[in-house]
Amino acid sequence: MNPTITVNSIRDDYVRNLSLVRDEIADTADKIDENQVAALAVQLGQPGRLFVAGAGRSGLVLRMAAMRLMHLGMTVHIAGDTTTPAIGPGDLLLVASGSGTTSGVVKSAETAAKVGARVAAFTTNPDSPLAALADSLVIIPAAQKTDHGSNVSRQYAGSLFEQVLFVATEALFQTLWGNSDEPAEELWLRHANLE
């Protein structure tokens, strides 16, 4: 560890970086097209099961979103889990990839489309293969993880995409819940009890 690092210097760096992260998230989230999110909400309200697929940190964010949507009473499956059934016509696949080119995510979307399922996607890249497969598309205008010289974000790799994906899916959940008549106590009955 650098001997010139002190508690005060770390504190100051932390405060500065907390502001950086907070401001980048707010600025990017404000640029999401609300109509795209509303169209995704409509897709989530259609009959059928929901499947979620993502890789890396984006996949972890979607797993959190899947949990909240399950709390709303949706039948939700995580692609790749051993008990996940086959997706079929009328189902919805929700995916996320900052680049829109993540091979496993694109392959999942191709498979879903081939069997007649709908595809909803979050990405930074409207010209990507994933975007082309999406029936519902939400563009998060963040830097891609390999865009190290970006003026969009000073954060490392795809952090801003993943952070805004989390905020967007949380706001989407709040919106869907707010349009239901279920109290928090009802949602809590669906919360995992084998933790």
Compute the distance between CA of residue 100 and CA of residue 79 in angstroms, rounded to an integer. Answer: 17
**How is 30-46 classified by DSSP, letter by letter?**
HTS-HHHHHHHHHHHHS
- Alpha carbons 130 and 105: distance in angstroms, whole number: 8
Alpha helices in 46-183 (DSSP H): 56-71, 103-114, 129-133, 159-178
Our answer to whether residue 186 is catalytic in this structure is: no
Give me the sign of the Cα torsion angle 29, 30, 31, 37: positive
Asked if 95 and 105 touch (Cβ cutoff 8 Å), the reply is yes
Q: What is the DSSP letter of 61?
A: H
Which entry of 24, 34, 110, 162 is annotated as an active-site residue?
162
Which residues are marked as active site? 162
